[in-house]
Amino acid sequence: MENGAARPAPAVIVAIDGPSGTGKSSTSKAVAAKLGLSYLDTGAQYRAITWWMVTNGIDITDPTAIAAVAGKPEIISGTDPSAPAITVDGTDVAGPIRTQEVTSKVSAVSAVPEVRARITELQRSIAAAAELGIVVEGRDIGTTVLPDADLKIFLTASPEARASRRSGELKGADVHSTREALLKRDAADSSRKTSPLAKADDAVEVDTSDLTLQQVIECVVTLVEEKRAAK
């Protein structure tokens, strides 16, 4: 507390889960920025470890090979929502982890239990260190990583809405093939044995199909403010 200032808002941990193309990242970053919270993109961490595996020639089709080196790369995630940085062994990988090569391999790497254990531990330590609270977005945050989060939100949208958004992000991508790729990734993430993509029982579901990004942000900000007021 500074100079007798008003009591700061209680720290709040917000878990935002859901499949790709639901507006998860844009919403999470905007909500964190608006409320002065830290922000963590857990998908970027899985992309980072996948990028490291690809760069170091690890056989992505061999879970044993992946498991053997899961503890090697040093992954550091920045938590500033306006500029979320991520480095692997000191190298800035914010750009390289978004390539199609990494995107096509991240589900296979993410399914390896040793990888999930390593990244989950990293995510929990980052959340615990966020003094003012944090918005953590991913696929298993409310169910596995932070089951005691103050607020859990599960974003959904129709496959068509998600494909249209994602193809807009990937300039010039074909909506039909983007939709097929999204559904394939959903199936892989939802059926994996370790921490599958799933909605927590106590999560608030928000269907973003017919909402603008601004409407989704306002909805989530309201939910967080209500949770803070109740603390």
pLDDT digits (tens, 9 = 90+) for 4-48: 456 677 899 999 999 888 889 999 999 999 999 999 999 999 999
Q: Are both 32 and 52 inside the same structural domain?
A: no
Q: Give, as one character, the DSSP assignment of residue 139.
A: S
175 in Cβ contact with 164 (< 8 Å)? yes
pLDDT of residue 191: 77
Q: Are both 134 and 31 inside the same structural domain?
A: yes
Q: Which residues of the chain have pLDDT under 70?
A: 1-7, 167-173
Q: Are both 88 and 27 inside the same structural domain?
A: no
**Contacts for 171-177 with beta carbons within 8 Å, 24 or more apart?**
none
In a domain? residue 207: yes
SS3 218: helix
* Domain end residue (candidates: 59, 93, 119): 119
**Looking at this protein, which amino acid is placed at residue 50?**
T
Q: Are both 110 and 211 inside the same structural domain?
A: no
**Residues comprising the binding site?**
18-26
Q: Are both 49 and 33 inside the same structural domain?
A: no
pLDDT of residue 172: 60
CATH number at residue 103: 3.40.50.300
* Cβ-Cβ contacts under 8 Å for 26 (sequence gap 6 or more): 213, 217
Phi/psi at 11 (nearest 5 deg)? -60, 140
Q: In the numeric block, which tokens belong to residue 157?
A: 């949208």
Q: Are both 153 and 106 inside the same structural domain?
A: no
Phi/psi at 52 (nearest 5 deg)? -60, -45
* Domain end residue (candidates: 84, 119, 154): 119
Domain span including residue 192: 12-37+130-224
pLDDT of residue 2: 47
pLDDT of residue 170: 62
Q: In the numeric block, which tokens belong to residue 112?
A: 């390896």
Q: Are both 107 and 146 inside the same structural domain?
A: no
pLDDT of residue 1: 42
Q: Are both 138 and 214 inside the same structural domain?
A: yes
In a domain? residue 2: no
How many domains, in total, are found in the chain? 2
**Residues comprising the binding site for ATP?**
18-26
Distance CA 65, CA 59 (A): 7
pLDDT of residue 171: 62
According to DSSP, the residues that pair with 207 across neighbouring strands are 156
pLDDT of residue 68: 98
SS3 107: helix
Q: Are both 136 and 102 inside the same structural domain?
A: no
Give the closest residue to 151 by CA, choosing from 90, 99, 192, 203.
Answer: 203
